[in-house]
Amino acid sequence: MKEVILIGFYQPNDALNKFISNVQQEFKIQVRYLQEYTALGTAGGLYHFRDQILAGKPDSFFVMNSDVCGDFPLKEMLSFTVQKGGGSHCTVLGTEATRQQSLNYGCIVENKNTHEVLHYVEKPETYISTTINCGVYLFSPDIFCTLEKIFKKNQEDNYNYQAGNGWCSGCDPNMQMKETIRLEQDIFVPMAGSGKLYVYHTDRFWSQIKTSGAAIYANRHYLALYQNWHKERLARNGELKPQIIGDVYIHPTADVHPTAVLGPNVSVGKHAVIGEGARVRESIVLEGAVLQDHCCVLYSVIGWNVTIGMWTRVEGTPNDPNPNKPFAKVDVKDTFSPDGKLNPSITVIGSNVQVPSEVILLNAMVLPDKSLAGSCKNQIIL
């Protein structure tokens, strides 16, 4: 791997620039952010920045959606694609889901012997297949020929539509922008059955991250992966050290009191401070956060530079896959129930929030830069 390119239409800010700089220094690899002039769909940005992607003449390149996490078998995908020879333009990473949950994903029908994709439907209305698209792809540079054809077709369709209806700036808000290319609908659907689209199956950990609950779920699995790949990153029990239960990561610059109890499945960021007698479980504590003495944090995300007062309890409700259903994924639940109440969820506290002592936060979402006056249950604090 030679380079990592991030593509999006968001304005770069200090947080993103700092992140990219830190990643380049830590992993010794070039990382760039390329900003689209508008949202171009899941493949429009690839075509728009094709010259940047093809610089250096790569043999192939991975494309990964930014809202997925997992134990990605990238080397295995590459070996699988090489075995298929030059005819394969794309390999899709696939995994199994339940019959009901498969309707929320792109569904793949394959030749079980060759693993060629024969049929592809994005979020079907009825059951198609339990093999779903993981949002991780391996492309050969030939894919840009396909993208070019779709781009020109979209331009032609857009021109014909305007010519037939008379041009106006907003005549049809549902009309797809001519520059927008949807990887799933515009590319995979017509490629299926052509001999150029294949699926590589994985039974390793994989999840979307569309909710805070999925972030806690992902944190648990990434810490478990450290047991195999980076055991040195995990905290250990010892003299004058906090009590560690299960898998816990503590950044070297964090200050954790020896009487604190952490775990299982806790990640503590840079310069965080965790005080005497504190209890933290199934949570993420981000950079600069301060958890004062004897506070309790369960199933929560504590944002940058947050202060949690003494004897305060911060707790959320986990959203894990159904353990009784094989291949079940994390459900993406609505924020509110049909009767307008906030559904129980992980508690998330935004950056620079001050939480007083001796209060309870339960199933709460607190936006940044707030100073809370008391307890909060099942609320969003704007």
User: Considering the entire predicted model, what is its pTM?
Assistant: 0.89
Residue range 6-18, pLDDT digits in tens: 999 999 999 899 9
The answer to whether 333 and 341 have CB atoms below 8 angstroms apart is no
The answer to whether 343 and 380 have CB atoms below 8 angstroms apart is no
Report CA-CA distances (Å) from 206 to 1, 168, 301: 22, 45, 20
% of the chain with per-residue pLDDT over 70: 94
pLDDT of residue 156: 81
C-beta atoms surrounding 251 within 10 Å: 15
pLDDT of residue 22: 92
The answer to whether 290 and 306 have CB atoms below 8 angstroms apart is yes
Q: In terms of residues, how long is the chain?
A: 382
How many whole angstroms separate alpha carbon 255 and alpha carbon 273?
A: 5
pLDDT bracket for residue 168 (50, 70, 90): low
Report CA-CA distances (Å) from 164 to 32, 156, 169, 193, 248: 42, 12, 14, 34, 62
How many whole angstroms separate alpha carbon 102 and alpha carbon 124?
A: 8
How many whole angstroms separate alpha carbon 139 and alpha carbon 188?
A: 12
Question: b/e map of 84-116 (b: 16 or more CB within 10 Å)?
Answer: beeebbbbbbbbbbbeebbbbbbbbebeeeebb
How many whole angstroms separate alpha carbon 65 and alpha carbon 43?
A: 11
Of 65, 33, 62, 64, nearest to 49 (Cα)?
A: 33
% of the chain with per-residue pLDDT over 90: 79
Whether omega for the bond prior to residue 73 falls within 30 degrees of 0, making it cis, is no
Residue range 112-159, pLDDT digits in tens: 999 999 999 999 999 999 999 999 999 999 999 999 999 998 888 776
**E strands within 140-231?**
197-201, 206-208
Query: With 60 as the cut, is the pLDDT of residue 175 above it?
Result: no
Residue range 59-74, pLDDT digits in tens: 999 999 999 999 999 9
The residues that bridge with 117 in the sheet, in sequence order, are 110
Residues 6+ apart with CB under 8 A from 343: 333, 334, 335, 336, 337
pLDDT bracket for residue 179 (50, 70, 90): confident
User: Does residue 58 or residue 212 have the better pLDDT?
Assistant: 58
pLDDT bracket for residue 326 (50, 70, 90): confident
Query: With 70 as the cut, is the pLDDT of residue 161 above it?
Result: no
The answer to whether 301 and 347 have CB atoms below 8 angstroms apart is yes
The answer to whether 49 and 7 have CB atoms below 8 angstroms apart is yes
Query: With 90 as the cut, is the pLDDT of residue 256 above it?
Result: yes
Query: With 80 as the cut, is the pLDDT of residue 167 above it?
Result: no
> Hunting for tokens 């250096």 — which residue is that?
56
Residue 233 is classified by DSSP as G
Report CA-CA distances (Å) from 4 to 32, 43, 69, 89, 378: 7, 17, 16, 20, 40
Mean pLDDT of the chain: 92
